[in-house]
Amino acid sequence: MRHLMSPLDFTPAELDNLFDLAGDIEHNMPKYAHACEGKKLAACFYEPSTRTRLSFESAMLNLGGQVLGFSDANSSSASKGESVSDTIRVISCFADICAMRHPKEGAPMVAASHSSIPVINAGDGGHQHPTQTLTDLLTIRSLKGRLRDFTIGLCGDLKFGRTVHSLIHALVRYPGVRFIFISPEELRVPDYITEMLQEKGVSYEEVIRLEESMPNLDLLYMTRVQKERFFNEEDYVRLKDFYILNKDKMALAKPDMLVLHPLPRVNEISVEVDSDPRAAYFKQVQYGVYVRMALILTLLDIQV
Ligand code: NCD
């Protein structure tokens, strides 16, 4: 039995198969409409989420399966003090696969080690968010036609943003990928990540101003400043509007640069950018459903 805790749980070759399957799903949806009939997905969300939870639910419903679960810790037995390892033992009796989001780093990993069904990490604290990364990689592969030889700018909250941490880990396995980290001093990418890049000899740069880097980017990954992970309100208020991507800044970018964002967006991308053909963040949401469908089929070992 296989779980998904980190994007590195799949080799690049396995990811290629997953993305091929997602591509087939995109173009032949009806073929997959009954693939998971009789199967149930438990969406166990101990932390607020709209898109990730609904994306999993939509993926399972598209496959003809059913969904159950909870969308905040207060409506689960966690509020009575139940441990994650007990909860997953119970959920294993109700469902065939579980997607779990938790504010504590490592909680889905604990669940996986006590589970008799596949567990998918749907985001654990500031740590990893592997299905967002699969979404991001599929979006890049589909819209850019390749997963190598590009310069990607990651902008915003690089300290707490788990989507960023997961994506960097996944991208270092592809040749010719260069990183530009764009953040205020206080929200710089953690040292363990820059140390990993140095060890692997991957090229990266850390800058504060977005404008300077714009002309060099093939991809710009914008992120939200993560209010819920700040220890004090003052710091959050000072940093929340540090970056605002608008038409003027887009004018500095290459004509085929893509803008990605895991969403939800707050102020960091002005709505005037939405109509720019380079804005790919809503397409990204659609790719997220295809890739989660492919992942559910793969982890349940269902061939269509
Ligand atoms: C992200 C998350 O939850 O980490 N959202 C998502 O899953 N699409 C990013 C965020 O909340 O800012």
Residues 255-284 have pLDDT tens digits of 999 999 999 999 999 999 999 999 999 999
Give yes or no: 27 in active site: no
- The residue whose CA has the least distance to atom 12 of ligand 1 is 224
Q: What is the identity of the amino acid at 175? A: P
- The Cα–Cα gap between 136 and 275 comes to 20
* Segment 110-139, tens digit of pLDDT: 999 999 999 999 999 989 999 999 999 999
236: helix, strand or coil = helix
Distance 48 CA to ligand 1 centre (A): 10
- Looking at per-residue pLDDT, the higher value among 110 and 228 belongs to 110
Average pLDDT over residues 1-29: 97
**27, 80, 200, 209: which is the annotated catalytic residue?**
80
CB of 127 shorter than 6 A to ligand 1: no
Give yes or no: 80 in active site: yes
Distance 263 CA to ligand 1 centre (A): 6
The continuous run of DSSP H or E covering 51 comes out as: helix 51-62
Ligand 1 pocket test: which of 46, 52, 261, 289 has the largest number of ligand atoms within 8 Å of its C-beta? 52
Q: Is the pLDDT of residue 49 over 90?
A: no
Check residue 237 and give its pLDDT.
87
Distances (CA, A) of 101 to 44, 88, 199, 272, 281: 6, 12, 31, 32, 22
- The Cα–Cα gap between 184 and 157 comes to 8
Check residue 290 and give its pLDDT.
98
Q: What percent of the chain has pLDDT over 90?
A: 88
Average pLDDT over residues 55-61: 98
Global confidence as pTM: 0.95
Check residue 126 and give its pLDDT.
86
Distance 130 CA to ligand 1 centre (A): 11
Give yes or no: 129 in active site: yes
Average pLDDT over residues 97-116: 96
235: confidence class by pLDDT, cuts 50, 70, 90: confident
Q: Specify the range with the lowest mean pLDDT, choosing from 137-141, 160-164, 193-197, 231-235.
A: 231-235
- The Cα–Cα gap between 247 and 239 comes to 21
- The residue whose CA has the least distance to atom 6 of ligand 1 is 262
